């Protein structure tokens, strides 16, 4: 019997294959981090208590498909051990391992999810196995099946022929009908701990003849977020970049990570509200080739760590929590929409304000400019709004100061929207706009909001609203002017 703590020498026989394929678990003993599931399945095989349908649920890369294949081996193994472990050397096990077994059918529901595919499966399931003891259907991403396909399979999964076993795998159990779930034995796969992933990466690098620093492998394990396949794919990428010596710096360079000192410094200035310094640091990271989507995620991780240590300081905790909410949403939206730099810059501007930071930076930038909403005629008299301007105002009490004259700055807008409701359908007055300015700012688009958050309505001339910038906010005024010239 192979010792699961030592690398399988057959795994490194073909270096042209990806690491996650060469090191895929082939026996129950080689599945890591899922002991409760493995022990349950192994005992079920040993006692011949195989059920007709299984449902494997869990995040990607946690071993669902690999475990399904091992279970198919164990069911059909010709030299199975008393503990339910497949031998992985008999004709049946080898055929399943090499993908040549006619009676182990893997189906990708994402590309074979139509009702016609399900009906074809039902017809084939009724025929006897060709070579093996039992026919096993492994349906990956089963939640991608259409509703009609689920209905077609329902009766078969409920009462399949004695020679058929279904293994359904999904990352989104909420999209699987309850009528299907209730007819299966469900097993939930967990994200793997960092130390478990790092231990297997150590075995892999040792067998591959690669020298790897423990810190580098731990960093890869953290980046994998509980997925072994993600960790192995990332290790493959880093080895291609760094060669036979894997260091922490090579991991950061290969995936575009910023170093911890840079992340800590950026988080410090964000929490301190130093917008110009934060913007410069973001630009430096971008110029250095760092992935700003990853930077946002690193800020989230570091912010969470700090939040747990400053919880006793209420003011610091609130400020840090606000920054953490904003960076968390920026990381998600930036990765999805490819605009992580813009979102980080908006966060930097936003945290420069004494007002609480919000996570509104990732809202769709299709809302109308609040300035134009304020100055737009009422619904009874629709008209195209004129662009708001930023003119050099005189001093506005203790919160504003005159700034150097500059051309009028247009603030981008979408479709016209009704102005605040006022009596008799009249155009809103300057006092009305000032009284509801906070509401207008909250409804602003994510691009405009940080630019006008600290402004105050100063003068209203028809549909043209002039805003006053507070002292020390020339940077914001400059951004507005830049947008007007773009």
Q: For residues 415 and 439, state if they share a domain.
A: yes
Write down which residue in 155, 173, 188 finishes a domain: 188
Q: For residues 75 and 126, state if they share a domain.
A: yes
CA separation for the pair 198, 219 (Å, rounded):
9
Write down which residue in 312, 327, 362 finishes a domain: 362
Q: For residues 354 and 431, state if they share a domain.
A: no
Q: For residues 302 and 402, state if they share a domain.
A: no
Q: For residues 38 and 131, state if they share a domain.
A: yes
Q: For residues 295 and 242, state if they share a domain.
A: no
Q: Is 136 part of any domain? A: yes
Taking the CA atoms of residue 78, residue 79, residue 83 and residue 88 in that order, the dihedral angle to the nearest 10 degrees is -90
Residue 44 belongs to what domain range?
A: 34-188
Which backbone phi and psi does 114 adopt, to 5 degrees?
Answer: -85, 165
Q: Is 22 part of any domain? A: no
Q: Are 387 and 411 in contact (CB under 8 A)?
A: yes
Q: For residues 180 and 46, state if they share a domain.
A: yes
Q: Which parts of the chain register pLDDT below 50?
A: 1-12, 312, 337, 354-377, 380-419
Q: For residues 84 and 217, state if they share a domain.
A: no
Q: Which of 104, 102, 109 is nearest to 152 (CA)?
A: 109
Assign residue 135 the CATH number of its domain.
Answer: 3.40.50.300
pLDDT tens, residue by residue, 43-90 = 999 999 999 999 999 999 999 999 999 999 999 999 998 999 999 999
Q: For residues 46 and 178, state if they share a domain.
A: yes
Q: For residues 392 and 439, state if they share a domain.
A: yes
Assign residue 232 the CATH number of its domain.
Answer: 1.10.8.60
User: Kindly report the CA angle at 72 between 70 and 76, in degrees rounded to 5?
Assistant: 115
Q: For residues 40 and 181, state if they share a domain.
A: yes
Q: Is 25 part of any domain? A: no
Q: Is 79 part of any domain? A: yes
Write down which residue in 157, 188, 219 finishes a domain: 188
Q: For residues 426 and 450, state if they share a domain.
A: yes
Q: How many CB atoms lie within 10 A of CB 426?
A: 10
CA separation for the pair 129, 75 (Å, rounded):
13
CA separation for the pair 380, 373 (Å, rounded):
15
Q: Is 20 part of any domain? A: no
Q: Is 177 left (phi over 0), alpha (psi -120 to 50) or beta?
A: beta
The reported pLDDT for the residue numbered 397 is 41
Give the chain's domain count: 4
Q: Is 219 part of any domain? A: yes
pLDDT tens, residue by residue, 326-382 = 777 665 555 554 577 888 888 888 776 544 444 433 344 444 444 444 444 455 444
CA separation for the pair 421, 254 (Å, rounded):
55
Helix (H, G, I), strand (E, B) or coil at 200: helix
pTM flag (> 0.85): no
Q: Is 473 part of any domain? A: yes
Q: Is 14 part of any domain? A: no
In angstroms, what CA-CA distances link 214 with 198, 248, 366, 370? 8, 9, 47, 53
Pairing of strands 211-212, 464-468: unpaired
The reported pLDDT for the residue numbered 274 is 85
């Amino acid at each position: 019997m192979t010792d699961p703590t030592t690398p399988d020498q057959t795994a490194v026989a073909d270096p042209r294959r990806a690491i996650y394929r060469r090191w895929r678990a082939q026996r129950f003993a080689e599945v890591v981090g899922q002991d409760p599931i493995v022990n349950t399945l192994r005992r079920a095989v040993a006692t011949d208590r195989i059920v007709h349908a299984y449902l494997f649920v869990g995040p990607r890369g946690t071993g669902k498909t690999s475990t399904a294949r091992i279970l198919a081996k164990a069911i059909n193994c010709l030299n199975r051990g008393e503990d339910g472990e497949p031998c992985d050397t008999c004709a049946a096990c080898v055929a399943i391992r090499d993908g040549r077994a006619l009676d182990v059918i893997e189906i990708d529901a994402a590309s074979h999810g139509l009702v016609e595919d399900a009906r074809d499966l039902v017809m084939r399931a009724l025929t006897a196995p060709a070579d093996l003891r039992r026919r096993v259907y492994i349906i990956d991403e089963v939640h991608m099946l259409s509703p009609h396909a689920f209905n077609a399979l329902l009766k078969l999964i409920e009462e399949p022929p004695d020679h058929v076993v279904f293994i359904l795998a999904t990352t989104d159990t909420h999209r699987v009908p309850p009528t299907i779930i209730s007819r299966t034995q469900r097993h939930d796969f967990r994200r793997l701990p960092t130390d478990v992933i790092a231990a297997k990466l150590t075995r892999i690098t040792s067998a591959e003849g690669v020298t790897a620093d423990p810190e580098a492998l731990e960093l890869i394990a953290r980046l994998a977020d509980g997925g072994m396949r993600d960790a192995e794919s990332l290790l493959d990428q880093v080895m291609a970049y760094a060669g036979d010596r894997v260091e922490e710096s090579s991991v950061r360079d290969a995936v575009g990570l910023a170093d911890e000192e840079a992340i800590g410094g950026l988080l410090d200035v964000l929490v301190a509200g130093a917008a110009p310094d934060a913007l410069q640091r973001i630009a430096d990271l971008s110029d250095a080739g760092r992935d700003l989507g990853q930077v946002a995620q690193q800020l989230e991780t570091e912010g969470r760590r700090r939040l747990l240590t400053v919880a006793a300081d209420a003011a610091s905790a609130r400020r840090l929590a606000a920054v953490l909410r904003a960076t968390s949403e920026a990381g998600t939206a930036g990765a999805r929409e490819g605009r992580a730099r813009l979102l980080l810059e908006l966060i930097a501007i936003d945290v420069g304000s004494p007002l609480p930071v919000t996570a509104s930076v990732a809202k769709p930038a299709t809302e109308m400019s609040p300035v134009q909403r304020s100055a737009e005629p009422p619904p009874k008299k629709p008209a195209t709004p004129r662009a708001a301007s930023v003119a050099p105002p005189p001093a506005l009490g203790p919160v504003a100061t005159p700034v150097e004259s500059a051309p009028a700055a247009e603030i981008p807008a979408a479709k016209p929207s009704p102005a605040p409701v006022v009596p008799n359908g009249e155009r809103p007055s300057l006092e009305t706009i000032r009284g509801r300015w906070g509401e207008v700012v909250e409804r602003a688009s994510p691009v405009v909001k940080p630019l006008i958050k600290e402004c105050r309505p100063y003068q209203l001339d028809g549909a043209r609203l002039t805003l006053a910038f507070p002292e020390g906010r020339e940077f914001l005024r400059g951004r507005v002017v830049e947008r007007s010239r773009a």
